[in-house]
Amino acid sequence: MSITAMLQQTITRQARLLKQFIAFLESETEALGQAPDPALLNQLSLRKKDFADRLADFDQQRTEALLAAGSDDIEATLEVLCEHDAALRDAVARWRQLVRDARRINVRNGEILLALSRHNQKALQALQGQPDGGLYTARGRLAPEGPVRGGSR
């Protein structure tokens, strides 16, 4: 198999995975809009890591194929190969667009998570905002310092 064919196959497979990743990111956006619980956030984080690992494998395959073309400048090598192969050029253009889309959605989701985190931090600060730094009990009273035993006071 030629380097160009190998690259096109790798990039096409990575593009398919990127489409799945984008669908996941869009579902993550919806989940984040519904005040997610910590268990859901953990599950989303694990799935995102799995996607990142699989996408990194494709990056490695692409890099190895480009290095096999005989140049250490992989971006320049990719551009030269694209100049001579319209199918590869089209596959690379689609792949790059998907990367941009995934990055944009992921940044947006990160901003949502940051806003949720800030909101939670402000709520915690409000609860701890007393001069002595105490917390409120379930009955709405300021708890004395130290752990609460046996339920609310």
pLDDT in tens, 57-83: 999 999 999 998 888 899 999 999 999
Per-residue confidence band for 137, with pLDDT thresholds at 50, 70 and 90: low
pLDDT in tens, 41-52: 899 999 999 999
At residue 11, the pLDDT reads 96
- Give Cα 124 to chain centroid, integer Å: 26
Of the candidate ranges 69-78, 85-94, 104-113, the one whose mean pLDDT is the lowest? 69-78
CATH 1.10.3720.10 given to domain 3-127 = no
The domain ranges of the chain are 3-127
Give the per-residue SS3 of 94-111.
HHHHHHHHHHHHHHHHHH
Query: Half-sphere exposure (CA, 13 Å, Cβ side) for 150?
Result: 1
At residue 102, the pLDDT reads 98
More confident residue, 98 or 116: 98
Q: What is the mean pLDDT of residues 141-150?
A: 56
Q: Is the dihedral of CA 92, 94, 97, 102 positive or negative?
A: negative
- Neighbouring residues of 7: CB distance < 8 A, sequence distance ≥ 6: 62, 65, 66, 78, 81, 88
Q: Return the residue matching tokens 């905002």.
A: 129
More confident residue, 133 or 86: 86
Our CA dihedral for 13, 14, 15, 21, rounded to 10 degrees, sits at 120
At residue 134, the pLDDT reads 56
Spatial CA neighbour of 103 closest among 114, 115, 111: 111
Average pLDDT, the chain: 86
Of the candidate ranges 53-67, 76-90, 132-146, the one whose mean pLDDT is the lowest? 132-146
